[in-house]
A and B are shown apart, each in its own frame.
Chain A
Amino acid sequence: MSLRGFLHERWSTQVTLLASGCLEGAQRERALAHLKACADCRREHDEVLALLHVVAQDPARTATPNVAVQYLVTRVEARLDSVIRSRPWRWATLGAGLAIGGLVAALLPRLMPGPSPSQTPAAPAVAEVAMDDAALRRLERVMAREQAVRYLAEAADVMVNLNAQSRPCPREHAHVELEAEVQRSRELVSRRALLLDLEEENLLPARDVLVDVDNVLREVASLQSCSRRDELDRVRREMEERQLLMKVRLLSRELVS
Chain B
Amino acid sequence: MRRLAQGERDALQPLMERHYRRVYRIALAYLRNPDDALDVVQETFVRAFEHAGRWNAGSEVAPWLTRIAVNQSIDRYRRERRRRETMAPLDEGDHDDRLGSGEISPELQAHGHELGARIDRALRSLPERQRAVFVLRHYEDRSLEEIAEALGIRLGTVKSSLFRATHELRRRLRGVWS
Instruction: Enumerate chain A interface residues (CB-CB to B < 8 A).
Output: 12-13, 16-17, 20, 22, 47-48, 50-67, 69-70, 72-73, 75-77, 79-80, 83, 164-168, 170
Contacts and interface: CB of A to CB of B under 8 A. Distances in A.
Contacts of A20: 137-138, 162, 166
Given A17-B163, A61-B25, A69 B103 contact: no
B17 A69 contact: yes
Given A22-B144, A58-B119, A69-B13, A17 B162 contact: yes
B131 to A, nearest CB: 12
Contacts of B163: 12-13, 16-17
A76 B176 contact: no
The winner among B107, B110, B170 for most chain A CB atoms within 10 A is B170
A55 B136 CA distance: 13
Contacts of B113: 59
B12 A77 contact: yes
A55 B174 CA distance: 12
Interface in B149-178: 159-160, 162-163, 166-167, 169-170, 173-174, 176-177
> Does more than half of chain A's interface fall in helix, strand or loop, or is it mixed?
helix
B119 A54 contact: yes
A170 B103 CA distance: 9
B42 A79 contact: yes
Contacts of A50: 177
A15 to B, nearest CB: 9
Nearest to B33: A167
Contacts of B70: none
Contact of B116 (A13, A58, A72, A168): A58
Contacts of A61: 25, 29, 139
Give the interface SS of chain B, mostly helix, strand, loop or mixed. helix
A167 B33 CA distance: 9
A51 B168 CA distance: 11
Given A16-B166, A52-B138, A63 B16 contact: no
Interface string B94-133: 0000000001001110110101100110000000000000
B122 to A, nearest CB: 9
B90 to A, nearest CB: 17
What 10 pairs across the A-B complex have the smallest Cβ distances?
A59-B116, A50-B177, A167-B35, A168-B106, A13-B163, A76-B45, A58-B119, A16-B163, A65-B24, A60-B28
Given A22-B162, A77-B9, A59 B35 contact: no
B137 to A, nearest CB: 6
Contact of B115 (A54, A73, A168): A54
Given A13-B159, A65-B21, A60 B115 contact: no
B103 to A, nearest CB: 7
A63 B31 CA distance: 13
B41 interface: yes
